[in-house]
Amino acid sequence: MIGKIQPVKLTVSSQEELSTIFKAARKLSNHKDGKFSQISIGSDLTPLERQERNSLRAERFYRQEEADTSGIQAKWIIRRGRVVNMQRRQQDPEEKKEEV
């Protein structure tokens, strides 16, 4: 079964264990050999949650394409169930310093 996706379901006993797993999962894509770059870890979602997640992804893609075609520097991401511009979040602290 080489090359076939093999999903694995894990059950953890605490939120701390889950947090540790997700934090460590980020290291997989940055592995020096690149062996684990295709491995991803995600939460088990209900059909409604999957639909909401897909609509957020579509909105993020649309906003990023719109920004790219208009020449605006933007990095749209999904955070806490909303699509937000990461570039704006990075620029806000600098703007506040200039106002002082």
Report the 10 Å Cβ neighbour count for 11: 7
- Cβ atoms 18, 12 nearer than 8 A: yes
48 or 71: whose pLDDT is higher?
48
The C-alpha atoms of residue 100 and residue 92 are separated, in whole angstroms, by 13
In 3D, which of 39, 2, 47, 1 has the Cα closest to residue 21?
Answer: 39
- Is the pLDDT assigned to residue 90 strictly greater than 70? no
Q: 8-17, 41-50, 69-78, 85-94 — which is least confidently predicted?
A: 85-94
pLDDT at 64 over 90: yes
pLDDT tens digits, residue range 1-57? 567 777 888 889 999 998 898 888 888 777 777 777 777 788 888 999 999 999 999
